[in-house]
Amino acid sequence: MTEQLTTTVPQSSNRKLALEMTVAALARLLLNTSRRFAYPFAPALSRGLGVPLVSITSLIALNQLTGILSPLFGPLSDRWGYRTMMLSGLGLMAVGMLAGGFLPFYMTVLIALFLAGLGKNIFDPALQAYVGERVPYQRRGLVVGLIEISWAGATLVGIPVVGLLIERFGWRAPFFVMGGLALVSMAVLGALFSGGSRRSIHDARMISFGQAWRLLSRSPAAMGMLAFSFLTSMANDNLFVIYGAWLEDSFALGVVALGTATTVIGVAELSGEVLVASLSDRIGLQRAVRIGIVLSALGYLMLPVIAQSLTLALVGLFLAFVVFEFTFVTAISLVTEVLPGARATMMASYIAVAGVGRVVGALIGGPLWLWGGLEAIGTVSAAIMMVAFVAFWQSARVEGS
């Protein structure tokens, strides 16, 4: 990974490319909302379906497991084309959401959420690979940062809209609305997005499923970035899984106040993505990631020290998530150039490994919290981030930077 890397000059004009990325970001906002809305509205879904709340949490768990399937579709994107797979991801979401609305049964909603999660995990790597192919490297951080705003947007915009729909029209309304919007997104994206250059189409036909995986497994830079993805995600979720318990125990926060704290995290995610778009290209993607890793480690380590009041605790939490989001999203911009011959395979693997890291972080966070409180959480997360620094440094070094 060198800062001088370039990509094929896009055939689209700057204006057309900007329009493509806007449409992609809105489609991704829709997919992210379909992925996240079940968390806050699990009680409403439980009442509407007439099932225990634990049944809805099982739906959410199954939705999360779809991330593990993402690597299966990365090579297909490299072979069949990024536009085709983006349309497929939106199509799965549309089918799932409309089925959940028209057939309000537990198993149907289970399938609906599964298809929505699967659609997102097909769409995202294909979109990121498309960005890697079409957007010059010098502007990669800007475009990736703007697209990633759709993740925070799901929390700050998408989920509140879903809440209004449920309140006014019932729990099935979001399924109809998101399913319909997914169909509209497919039509617009299909008409607007390029099918690929002659070179990229030719290469896609030449790359088999096995070849894509061999390219990935034999690249030290790719394996280093996968290790980075796993470690940084584990460090962040080690904190994320216990922050509610920490705020509740330390400051006696109720449910409403904890909801406000979640909004703080949403704003932090948005701020991190805006920083990526505005700063990462200027200071250099690799330098930005290195700075982000070090600041993340310091943030995790210092959080127990500075969190002596609720205000300081929320400020510390905000800064920790801003820096993490900045670091992780900037790294996505780099990863799009790690394996140009199999971009979607690389991106799908990066996403899947991050999901595994989140699972591991969540599993160790609870026991660490019970054993040593926030001090143990901060120390372990900081140590994990420094291991991630080594993995990132090695990945960059083998690429000659």
**What pLDDT is attached to residue 88?**
94
In a domain, 124, yes or no: yes
Radius of gyration of the chain (CA): 21
Cα 11 to chain center, whole Å?
A: 28
pLDDT of 268 > 60? The answer is yes
One domain, residues 18 and 165: yes
**What pLDDT is attached to residue 112?**
92
In a domain, 3, yes or no: no
**What pLDDT is attached to residue 141?**
87
One domain, residues 187 and 242: no
The DSSP code for 8 is P
Question: What is the rounded CA–CA span in Å between residue 354 and residue 360?
Answer: 10
pLDDT of 73 > 90? The answer is no
Q: Give residue 339's pLDDT band: very low, low, confident or very high (50, 70, 90).
A: confident
Q: Let me know: does 91 contact 119? Beta carbons within 8 Å.
A: yes
Q: What stretches of 193-242 show up as alpha helix (H) in DSSP?
A: 198-206, 209-217, 220-240
Q: Which of 2-16, 157-171, 303-317, 337-351 has the lowest mean pLDDT?
A: 2-16
Torsion of CA 207, 212, 218, 220, to 10 degrees: 110
Mean pLDDT of 375-382: 95
One domain, residues 120 and 226: no
pLDDT of 291 > 90? The answer is yes
In a domain, 284, yes or no: yes
In a domain, 2, yes or no: no
Question: What is the average pLDDT score of the chain?
Answer: 84
Residues with Cβ within 8 Å of 5's Cβ and at least 6 positions away in sequence, in order, are: 137, 337
pLDDT of 197 > 50? The answer is no
Task: State pTM to two decimals.
Answer: 0.80
What DSSP line would sit under 290-351, residue for residue? HHHHHHHHHHHHHHHHH-SSHHHHHHHHHHHHHHHHHHHHHHHHHHTTT-GGGHHHHHHHHH
One domain, residues 194 and 227: no
Q: Which of 87-101, 228-242, 288-302 has the lowest mean pLDDT?
A: 228-242
One domain, residues 197 and 245: no
Closest CA to 236 of 60, 39, 382: 382
What tokens appear for 169 in the block? 């029209």
One domain, residues 194 and 328: no
Q: Last residue of a domain, which of 206, 237, 256?
A: 206
What confidence tens digit (pLDDT) does each residue in 54-67 have?
787 777 777 767 77
Q: Last residue of a domain, which of 206, 232, 256?
A: 206
Q: Could you tell me what percent of the chain has a pLDDT over 90?
A: 39
In a domain, 4, yes or no: no
pLDDT of 21 > 60? The answer is yes
One domain, residues 114 and 89: yes
In a domain, 5, yes or no: no
What tokens appear for 184 in the block? 């509209």
Q: Could you tell me what percent of the chain has a pLDDT over 70?
A: 88
Question: What is the rounded CA–CA span in Å between residue 60 and residue 275?
Answer: 30
One domain, residues 202 and 243: no
Closest CA to 116 of 227, 16, 32, 200: 32
Residues with Cβ within 8 Å of 115's Cβ and at least 6 positions away in sequence, in order, are: 92, 93, 95, 96, 99
One domain, residues 153 and 289: no
In a domain, 348, yes or no: yes
What confidence tens digit (pLDDT) does each residue in 178-188 have?
999 999 999 99
What confidence tens digit (pLDDT) does each residue in 203-260 have?
444 555 667 777 777 888 899 999 999 999 999 988 887 877 788 788 876 655 666 6
What confidence tens digit (pLDDT) does each residue in 141-167 have?
889 888 988 888 888 888 889 888 998
**What pLDDT is attached to residue 58?**
73
Q: Give residue 202's pLDDT band: very low, low, confident or very high (50, 70, 90).
A: very low
Token look-up 């997919």 returns: 31
The CATH number linked to 28 is 1.20.1250.20
Q: Let me know: does 322 contact 268? Beta carbons within 8 Å.
A: yes
**What pLDDT is attached to residue 344?**
83
One domain, residues 253 and 362: yes
* Residue of 320 and 60 predicted with greater confidence: 320
**What pLDDT is attached to residue 364?**
87
Q: What stretches of 154-284 show up as alpha helix (H) in DSSP?
A: 159-169, 173-192, 198-206, 209-217, 220-240, 243-251, 255-275, 281-283
Residue 27 lies in domain: 14-140+147-206
Q: Last residue of a domain, which of 206, 223, 255?
A: 206
**What pLDDT is attached to residue 207?**
55
Nearest 5°: CA angle at 229, between 279 and 400? 70
One domain, residues 132 and 254: no
In a domain, 36, yes or no: yes
* Residue of 243 and 291 predicted with greater confidence: 291
How many structural domains is the chain composed of? Answer: 2
One domain, residues 42 and 180: yes
Mean pLDDT of 91-97: 96
Q: Give residue 44's pLDDT band: very low, low, confident or very high (50, 70, 90).
A: confident
**What pLDDT is attached to residue 243?**
78
Number of Cβ atoms within 10 Å of the Cβ of 192: 15
